[in-house]
């Protein structure tokens, strides 16, 4: 029986000729990742187990991004603990203020992860790196600790769901709209512990940033991972970044999939996920006033997202009574946005620009919601109380839709702004 992309990567890292869905394996890891919230827990477990030295100091990434710059004493102490561990263990990939960025944008940007890799991270959105043709998945902090000690992890090989893409996305429709559409179609548990594998001629029309966004939210459908095939765009993105040998895995023609969904990209519309689950998607709605907009996060904080938001905000003003917060995902994105004049566009529109941070996405800082406030956000989760007060509401959307909503002071699409006088 043939294997899927994910199964081939896992087989190779387990040193096996083949694997099947449901099989338990132990696989070598190319990268182990944690942040300022999850790393301290992993470090304590590492020390509790009696470990004194990590196995591969160049295959561990510690990124201080969630509460950084530190929002309070507890956050500062967590980072201090991690910083001291990184110094003691001589961790190569340690990123703090001045160098840091949101982890799932930073690692691909710096070429730390790439095609064919097997990656775990103590953060659920580690599945982002599937855009590069890698197997990447989120784990708990104890698995992270074991990964630092042994550079290995146990997996149950996932079965797979295939998504065949055709056509091209219409204007103002993005990868965010695609993944929200898919989650609305299959539900938040529709791909539970399965691999979401994206194929078809429509893949070539998606930018790398679109693919990062799609894989980033695979976990919102319950998936173990999301993954795209490696093509010319993937290789072009990695060129000059990724220095290790590129390993390309392709699914066999007779690979087994539990289900296959065919999606016509040209038929998609601007899609918004209403509270309080990502599967609660809509393409039409009644007038809905808002109080805040957040444009950023590991889902939509890359340079193309900044450009999309700026396209809508240029020459326009954020509506009175709306707070618009723009967060470039990394220092490189911030610098590029500055060079292109995007930051000036944001500030002149009445928005604010933050240093790279996860901040408001998890209700950490830099944009907490009060009671009964509504926020249109390019982040990935809209659970009860996710961004602040339990009565607040989060509407997940693309940068185009978020920026349009900021201008009109209500949930709106880019098309509405272009038609608005």
Which are the contacts of 23, defined by CB distance < 8 A and separation ≥ 6? 156, 157
For the stretch 27-68, pLDDT in tens is 999 999 999 999 999 999 999 999 999 999 999 999 999 998
CB count within 10 Å of CB 155 equals 22
**Distance of alpha carbon 411 from alpha carbon 376, whole angstroms:** 7
- For the cut 60, the answer to whether the pLDDT of residue 420 exceeds it is yes
Average pLDDT for the chain: 95
What's the pLDDT band for 362 if we cut at 50, 70, 90? confident
For the stretch 154-169, pLDDT in tens is 999 999 999 999 999 9
> Token pair of 20, please?
């099947």
**Whole-number pLDDT of residue 421:** 53
Residue 346 Ramachandran class (φ > 0 left, ψ -120 to 50 alpha, else beta): alpha
For the stretch 141-154, pLDDT in tens is 899 999 999 999 99
**DSSP 8-state class, residue 167:** S
CB count within 10 Å of CB 16 equals 13
Query: What order of strands is seen across the sheet that includes strand 225-227?
Result: 225-227, 194-199, 159-166, 259-264
68 against 350, higher pLDDT: 350
**Whole-number pLDDT of residue 75:** 92
**Distance of alpha carbon 203 from alpha carbon 168, whole angstroms:** 9
CA max distance for the chain: 66
For the stretch 410-419, pLDDT in tens is 999 998 888 7
For the stretch 281-326, pLDDT in tens is 999 999 999 999 999 999 999 999 999 999 999 999 999 999 999 9
Q: What is the 3-state secondary structure (H, E, C) of 31-94?
A: EEEEECCHHHHHHHHHHHCCCCCCCCCCCEEEECCCCCCCCCHHHHHHHHHHHHHHHHHCCCEE
Region 242-259: mean pLDDT is 93
Percent over 70 (pLDDT), the chain: 100
**Distance of alpha carbon 409 from alpha carbon 319, whole angstroms:** 5
- For the cut 70, the answer to whether the pLDDT of residue 250 exceeds it is yes
For the stretch 206-243, pLDDT in tens is 999 999 999 999 999 999 999 999 999 999 999 999 98
For the stretch 96-134, pLDDT in tens is 998 889 999 999 999 999 999 999 999 999 999 999 999
Helix axes 342-349, 303-313, angle to 10 degrees: 40
**Distance of alpha carbon 261 from alpha carbon 52, whole angstroms:** 48
Region 378-400: mean pLDDT is 94
**Whole-number pLDDT of residue 204:** 95
Beta bridge partners of 212: none
Q: Report in angstroms the alpha-carbon separations of 278 from 273, 378, 396.
A: 5, 12, 7
The full set of domains in the chain, from first to last, is 5-265 (3.30.499.10), 272-419 (3.30.499.10)
**Whole-number pLDDT of residue 417:** 85
**Whole-number pLDDT of residue 18:** 95
| 69 upstream amide cis, omega within 30 of 0 | yes
Please tell me the number of Cα atoms within 13 Å of 294 on its side-chain side: 33
């Amino acid at each position: 029986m043939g294997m899927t992309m994910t199964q081939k990567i896992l087989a190779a890292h387990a040193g096996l000729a083949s694997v099947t869905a449901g099989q338990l394996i132990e696989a070598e890891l190319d990268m182990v990742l944690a942040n300022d919230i999850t790393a301290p827990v992993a470090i304590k477990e590492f020390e509790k187990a009696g470990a004194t030295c990590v196995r591969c100091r160049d295959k561990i990434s510690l990124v201080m991004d969630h509460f950084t710059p530190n929002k309070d004493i507890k956050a500062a102490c967590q980072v201090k603990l991690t910083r001291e561990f990184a110094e003691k263990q001589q961790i190569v990939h340690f990123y703090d203020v001045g160098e840091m960025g949101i982890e799932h944008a930073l690692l691909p940007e710096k070429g730390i992860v790439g095609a064919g890799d097997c990656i775990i991270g103590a953060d659920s959105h580690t599945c982002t790196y599937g855009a590069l043709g890698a197997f990447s998945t989120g784990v708990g902090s104890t698995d992270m600790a074991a990964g630092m000690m042994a550079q290995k992890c146990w997996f149950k090989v996932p079965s797979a769901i295939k998504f065949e893409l055709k056509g091209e996305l219409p204007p103002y429709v993005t990868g965010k709209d695609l993944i929200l559409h898919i989650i609305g179609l299959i539900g938040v548990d529709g791909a539970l512990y399965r691999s979401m594998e994206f194929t078809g001629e429509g893949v070539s029309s998606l930018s790398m940033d679109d693919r990062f966004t799609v894989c980033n939210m695979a976990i919102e459908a319950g998936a173990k991972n999301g993954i795209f095939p490696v093509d010319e765009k993937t290789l072009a993105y990695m060129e000059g970044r990724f220095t290790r040998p590129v390993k390309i895995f392709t699914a066999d023609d007779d690979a087994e999939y539990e289900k296959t969904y065919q999606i016509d990209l040209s038929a998609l519309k601007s899609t918004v996920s209403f509270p309080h689950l990502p599967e609660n998607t809509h393409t039409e709605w009644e007038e809905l006033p808002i109080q805040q907009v957040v444009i950023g996060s590991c889902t939509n904080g890359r340079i193309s997202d900044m450009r999309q938001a700026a396209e809508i905000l240029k020459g326009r003003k954020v509506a009175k009574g709306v707070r618009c917060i723009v967060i470039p995902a990394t220092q490189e994105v911030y610098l590029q946005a500055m060079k292109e004049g995007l930051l000036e566009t944001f500030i002149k529109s009445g928005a604010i620009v933050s240093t790279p941070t996860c901040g408001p996405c998890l209700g950490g800082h830099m944009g907490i919601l009060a009671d009964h406030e509504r926020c249109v956000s390019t982040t990935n989760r809209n659970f009860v109380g996710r961004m602040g007060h339990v009565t607040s509401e989060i509407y997940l959307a693309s940068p185009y839709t978020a920026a349009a909503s900021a201008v009109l002071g209500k949930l709106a699409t880019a098309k509405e702004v272009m038609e608005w006088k």
